[in-house]
Chains A and B, each alone.
Chain A
Amino acid sequence: MANNKNIKIESLGIYLPETVLTTSELLSQCKHPPSLDLEKITGIRERRMAVGEYAVDLAVKSAENALKMSRYSAEDLDMIICTSISKYNRKDEVDFEPSTSMVIRKRIGALNAINFDINNACVGMLNGIYVMESFIKSGAIKCGMVVSGELNMPLVDTSKQEIRHSFDRQLAALTLGDGGAAIILDKSDSDKYGLHQLDLITGAKHNHYCYSKPSKRGPGGVLITKARGLQRKGAEHFPFYLKKTVEKSGWTMDDIDYGIPHQIAVGVIKRNIKATNRFLGEKIPFRLLYNVERVANTTTTSYFIILHEFLLNNTIRKDHNLLFVGGGSGMVIVQATYTMDDLPERYISKFGTA
C-alpha cells in the first residue's frame, strides 16, 4: 500500500582520505603538462587522494560513519544500494561480481538487508534515493542505506600519462578526487520535512559527451569528456526542470535557502547560475554552496560531501529548504527539493563543529 509521507535523511556519513594532492603537484606529474592554467579555469586547488585504500574501503568507512549517528544498527537496515561508478576494489581491477553492495553488506554486518548496485554516473546516489524512496513508500522496507565510494585517482593516473595537449579530452579527469558518502533513509514523521520532489531525466541522445572505459592506448581506465558540449546541453535544459521541480514542491525561488549543485568546477557552477538567471529572467535569490576548490569532483558522492561540510559549519540548519541540482553523463539531469529536520543539530552533536 503506497504511503505518501516524505522520506528523510536519517543519518549521513562521509569519508575523505587524509592525503591532499594539489592541482599544481598533479600537473607537475603529467608526462605532457597542459599549458593552460587548470587551477584558474576550474577553481580546483586540491583534492583528496586515497593511499592504500580502494573504492569499497571508502564506501565502508562512510557507511560506518553513517551508522555512528544513526538510531538504526547495521542489522536494522532492510536495503543497501551501492552507487559507486569506480569499482576499483583491487589494483588495476574493476569488480563486476559479486556486487559491491554485497561486499559492503558483509563488512558492516547488515546481514538482513537486500542489496544491489545502481550505476547512473554522477547522479548515482540520487538515483539510489529515488529507488529506495519507492520501497519505503510502498511499505516494502522501513529503512535503508545508499552508499558510494569513489576512487577516481586511477583515472587521473591514466590521464597523467596520456594527456598530450591542452585540449585533450582526458583533461576533465584532472578535476577528479576521491571520497565516500553514505546516507540512511527512512520515513519522515512530518510532511514538512524530508524529500519533497526528486526528478531524474535521461536524455540518452547526448550520452556521447562523457564516458569512461578501459584505455585503448595502454593500461588503466580513461574518462573522456567533451566538456563544452556537455555543459552547453546541460545549461540548455536543466533550468526548465529546476523551475518545474520547485513549482511541484509548492515552493517559489524565494523559499529556497541553499542550492547544492554537483561539484564539477567553480567555473561550471557559476556558468550554470548565469543560465538559470537567464531562464528565470531574474537573479536566483538563494546561494549555491560549493567546496569543489578543496575536494574537487568526487562524482556520485559530491552532493553529500558538501552537505557534510555545510552542516558542520552550521550553515545548513533545521527548517532550511535545499535544492539539489546537477547532472551526469548519460546525459542525466537531476533536481530535488528537501527540507532539513533536526539532522544538523544531531550531526554537530555527534561530529562537532568544523
Chain B
Amino acid sequence: MKKIRIESIGVSYPRKKFWKIGSLSHAVRAGLSCLKNSNYHPMDVQVLINSGIYRDGHYAEPAFSTFIQKKLGINTEFQGRRTLSFDLQNGGCGMLNGIHVLINLILSGRIYSGMVISSEANADKKPDPNYQYINSGAAVMLDLSPNSQIGFGNFVFKSFEKYMHLYSSFVSLAQKYGRLFIEKKKGLEDAYLACVQPVIKELLDEENLSADDISFVIPSQISEYFLNKLPENIYFSAEKIINLTHQYTDTLTTSVFLSLKHLLDKKVIKPGQKVILLTVGAGITVGASIYYF
C-alpha cells in the first residue's frame, strides 16, 4: 500500500506586539521555511492549497493562495511548469482536510508533489475581543513516500451538526473595511470532548491498532481544560497527549502542525513511532489521521 509522506515542514511561529505580522507574511514565512527544508524546488509544487481562514483584508476573491503563490514565486506565469492553487476551508480541521485532498490528488496520479499552507491573523484595527487566536503560519510539502511503512495512514472526518450553534465566525460588512466577529457559546469545549472519542475509535479500528500502539496524540491546542480532559475521553494515558499550550496557545488551523514541528525539532518523535494528528473545529467537525514515522 502506497503512503504519502510529509517531505518537509515549515512554520512561522507566533510573534508578539511590535513584531506582529499579517496572515500573508506568516504564510510566506512558513512556506519559505518549508521549501528551505525540502529537496524540492518551488517549481515542483504542482498544487498549492491554502487552508487558513482569517486573512488580511478579508478578501473574498481571488483565492488567498494566489497571493501566497505569487510571494513564494511558485510558477506564477502560465508558461513553463504550472501550478494550481486554491483555498480550502473547514474551520480548525482545514489543514488536515487540505492534506487529505492533496494525498488523493497524488494517489490518483494527478500530481506527484504539493504543498498545504495555512496562516491565521486578524488584521482589523479594533479586533473583536473574542478573537483569541495567536497569529502564526504552517506549511507541509507532501509527496509519495519511498518507504511504504512511512507516511499517512487513514483519515477520519466526522461532523456533529447538533453542536453547530456553539461556534460561528463572520465578517460584518455593516462598516467600511469589514470587521471579523467570533461567537463562542458556553459548552463548546465539552462538545469538542464529546465528539473526539468516536473519531479516534474509528481511526484505530480502521488501522487495526490499539491505544497502546500509539506513541503520541497531537491535538489542536484548544486550551488547558480541553487537553487535560482529553486523555479520559479517548482512553489514552495523559503522557501521550501533547500539551504545548504554555508555549503556543490556540492558533486554529496551524495548531497541530506547530506542535508537530516543535516535537520534530526536539527529536521527541523517533522513527517507527505512530502519532495521531487530531483536529477539531467549527461545525463541530473532528478530523484525525495516523502518521507512521
Contacts and interface: CB of A to CB of B under 8 A. Distances in A.
Interface of A: 2, 4, 85-87, 89-90, 92-99, 101-103, 105-106, 111, 114-121, 127, 130-131, 133-135, 137-138, 140, 154, 200-205, 207, 210-221, 237, 241, 328-333
A97 B168 contact: yes
A138 B84 contact: no
A217 B89 contact: no
A101 B168 CA distance: 14
A219 B58 contact: no
Nearest to A4: B109
B60 A98 contact: no
A202 B84 contact: yes
B78 A99 contact: no
Contacts of A331: 62, 66
B171 A119 contact: no
A117 B90 contact: yes
B86 A207 contact: no
B198 to A, nearest CB: 14
B89 A117 contact: yes
Interface residues of B, number: 60
Interface in B245-289: 281-283, 285
Contacts of B91: 97-99
Contacts of A329: 61-62
B53 interface: yes
A122 B213 CA distance: 46
A115 B54 contact: no
Contacts of A103: 164
B282 A98 contact: yes
Contact of A217 (B74, B90, B108, B176): B176
A316 B176 CA distance: 46
Given A134-B101, A219-B176, A207 B67 contact: yes
B168 A204 contact: no
Given A210-B62, A213-B60, A127 B86 contact: yes
A272 to B, nearest CB: 15
Chain A interface main SS type: mixed
A2 B74 CA distance: 28
Listed from nearest, the 9 A-B pairs whose CB atoms lie closest are: A214-B178, A97-B282, A330-B62, A120-B86, A116-B90, A204-B69, A205-B76, A134-B108, A98-B282
Contact of B58 (A94, A111, A131): A94
Nearest to A123: B86
B60 A85 contact: yes
Contacts of B164: 98, 102-103, 106
A87 B84 CA distance: 23
Contacts of A201: 78, 82-84
A117 B88 contact: yes
A114 B157 contact: yes
A213 B83 CA distance: 24
B235 interface: no
19 contacts: A95-B168, A96-B89, A98-B283, A105-B161, A115-B90, A118-B89, A119-B89, A121-B61, A131-B105, A134-B110, A138-B104, A138-B107, A201-B84, A204-B69, A214-B173, A219-B173, A237-B78, A329-B62, A331-B66
Interface string B102-133: 00110111100000000000000000000000
Nearest to A99: B90
Nearest to B69: A204
Given A119-B87, A202-B83, A207 B62 contact: yes
Contacts, number: 211
A116 B88 contact: yes
Nearest to A214: B178
A202 B167 CA distance: 33
A154 B85 CA distance: 27
A94 B170 contact: yes
Contacts of B88: 116-119
B61 A212 contact: yes
B61 A218 contact: no
Given A212-B59, A330-B66, 11 more contacts: A96-B171, A97-B53, A116-B89, A119-B86, A121-B63, A201-B78, A204-B85, A216-B176, A216-B177, A220-B173, A331-B62
A90 B70 CA distance: 33
Contact of B171 (A93, A137, A138, A154): A93
A216 B282 CA distance: 29
Contacts of A135: 101, 104, 108
Interface string B199-222: 000000000000000000000000
A133 B60 CA distance: 25
B60 A102 contact: no
Interface string B156-173: 010101001001111111
B57 interface: yes
B262 to A, nearest CB: 26
Please indicate which of the listed interface residues B48, B167, B176 has the most CB atoms of chain A within 10 Å of its own CB.
B176
A214 B62 contact: no
